[in-house]
Structures are given as structure tokens and as C-alpha cells.
Amino acid sequence: MVRTGLSALLIIGTWATAGLTQASAAGSPSSAGPQASAGIVTAMQRDLGLTKSQAEARLTAEKRATALQGKAHSAAGASFGGSWFDAGSGKLTVAVTDSAKAGAVRATGAQTRVVAHTARELDAVKSKLDALSAPDGVSSWHVDPRANSVVVNVVASEQGDNDVRAFVAKARQAGPVTVKQTAEAPKTFAAGTVGGDPYYTGNVRCSIGFSVHGGFVTAGHCGQAGGAVRGWDGTAIGNFQGSSFPGNDYAWVNVGSGWWTVPVVLGWGTVSDQLVRGSNEAPIGASVCRSGSTTHWHCGNVLAKNETVNYSQGAVHQMTKTSVCAEPGDSGGSFISGDQAQGVTSGGWGNCSGGGQTWHQPVNEILNRYGLTLHTA
């Protein structure tokens, strides 16, 4: 059984497991190495409707696109308008405002699209929106390089609300803004404490995101600095050394008392355990998978980056939005693309029966904030 297998694994060390909370809040390119696990490929087949060969080809193309981002950005210079992975062509697409730069960008191996606004201009518009107070009917907002606009997501049932309309009006005054509808308001994935999950703090259960040297990273809404953390068996693991929520949704926990870390994302008996080999950030449009203690492995695509999410507890900034589903009990868990760590699960809407969207806090931001080093294979 999965529970038995997990028990045995945790006895010999702390795993960079996946799972979202069950509480009140739900570098350089890597060198050629082992291919993604069969479990990742299987999950992509199930969730993205791909064949085995298509999934493997996409992972190869995404790895190439991820490695290309920095070089292509430099080639675009000040005309850079953002970039994304095009699943149809299997290439990185780079938006540029100066057509004279397109040739230099294409020489790197990327595709180009000429647009009106630079990424710097769009980021400035988003910053103006971040300074506004958003009503509950406004779900989130982010820069969309494909639309060359800042997209504001509004809960469909609340689009006629006066406060929502006032926010949208102010947003449009800031610059190029596109309004889209979303089915539900975002929430962190939380639930009452239940047994059989990777760790507990207070009356909250969460899961390990990724191992770092000296501990692990997870979601900030899982606990506050100083809070004690217990393992699945009730024994002490360590304490929250730092935590931020809202504003951010990240935290890290030190590991001791006989526990230690390994560079692995647990497959929960559904797929093979996945080794973590780095944290190169996948582009918009790339596939990404999530491991969670409630819903196990699920995959989807990166939909947006640097999105501000308007939770009921307050706004959280610089989040990555995905089409991966999640449910209560999955908070803090691992988002991974191939063998590259992406982030820790924060929250979203929907479930894994009817579908939904989930946000994660990028792992590199957490590492930089606390001066941590990812534990890699």
C-alpha cells in the first residue's frame, strides 16, 4: 500500500514529497542527463492527452526551450516583449517590439513575433495594478506575453459588481489590459487534519516541497516562523525557520532529530519517484507536473508567470499559474518539469474530478530569499 511504502521511505530520510496543505489556506542549463521518469511520461499521457512518443518529444523540446531563454532574451535586447513555449512547433517564441532584432533572436533557435509593448512596459502596468486594492471578485492579474497585455481575471458571477467594475476601470487606465472570466475565486487548498500525510504543524497538515541542504521548502500558509513541525509518525522534524503569507506564499523548515533530506519527489506508488536535478524555470506553455499527498500525480501546462493572486487572506505576488488540478491536502507540494524543480503548491480553484487551475510559488525565489541551496541528484 502507498501508506506503508511512504512509512518505510520516511524512516530512512525526509523526502521532497508533494502535497498541498490541509489547513486554512490551501541557472544555467542542465547538462544532458537521464530522461524523465516513466511516471512523468505516463502522467502527461493521461492529463495532456499525449501518446508516449509525443510526451517524450515534448519534454525534449521543452528542455531545449528552457535552456534557450536567456540567450534569446539577450538577443532581443530592450525590445524583448516576453517569451513562451509553443507546443505546436516545439520551439520557444520570443516577442520583440523592434523587427530589426528578430533576425538575431531567430539565430539563437527561437521563433519571433513582433508586438507593440515591451515586457518592461507591461511589467510597469502590472505594478500599477499591484498597488490597487482588489475586491474579492477579481481573481488575479498577470502579464501575458502572447496577448502582449496585462490580463485581469474576473470571477464570472461577479463581473457586474460595482467594486469589480471600478477596479477594471482603474486597471484600463494603467495601460494595455485585457479582461477575462474565471469560474471561481482562488483559495489555498486546505482541509481538516487527517492521518497519513508527510508533516503536521499545529492543526495543519502539509507536504514537503523540495529538499534543500539543511531542510525543505514548502508553502508559507502552512505555518509561521518558529512553529514546530512533526512527521507523519508524530516525531519532531524541526521548525519553520522563515515563513511569508500573504504577500508571498513560501516557507522553509530545518531538518533534524534523525531526519535528513534526499533530492526526490515522491510518486506515492502511482508513478516512479522523481529525482530532482536542478531548478531551471520552464517557459510559459511548457508542461509541468505536480505531486500531492491527496491527489498524487497530475500534469498540465504553465499558463502564466508573475501573476498576482487575490486570496481572501490577501494578495500573493509573483506566482506561476498552471492548468494542473489540486485538492485540499496538496498544499506545499512539488511542481516539477522534467527533472527540474519549479515551485511549491499554493492554491487555486476546482478539483481533480472536474478540473481547475493551481498556482505555485517559484522555487528559485524561495531559495534566493532564504539563501538556501536546492538538494539535487
Q: Which residue has the cell 512533526?
A: 230
Residues 37, 109: Cα–Cα separation, whole Å: 27
C-alpha cell at 125: 502596468
Q: Confirm whether 233 is a catalytic residue.
A: no
Name the strand (E) or helix (H) holding 5. Answer: helix 2-11
Contact 199, 10 (CB under 8 A): no
Q: Which of 47, 197, 249, 273 is catalytic?
A: 249
Q: Measuring CA to CA, how many Å separate 233 from each of 6, 10, 140, 333?
A: 11, 9, 38, 19
* C-alpha angle 82-88-89 in degrees, rounded to nearest 5: 75
Residues 33, 30: Cα–Cα separation, whole Å: 8
Q: Confirm whether 130 is a catalytic residue.
A: no
Q: CB pairs under 8 A, 24+ apart, for 126-129?
A: 126/150, 126/306, 126/308, 128/174, 128/175, 129/171, 129/174, 129/308
Q: Confirm whether 117 is a catalytic residue.
A: no
Q: Which of 140, 331, 337, 346 is catalytic?
A: 331
Cis peptide before 283 (omega within 30 of 0): no
Q: Which of 221, 296, 298, 360 is catalytic?
A: 221
C-alpha cell at 326: 489540486
User: How, if at all, do strands 91-96 and 80-86 pair?
Assistant: antiparallel
* Catalytic residue annotation: 221, 249, 331
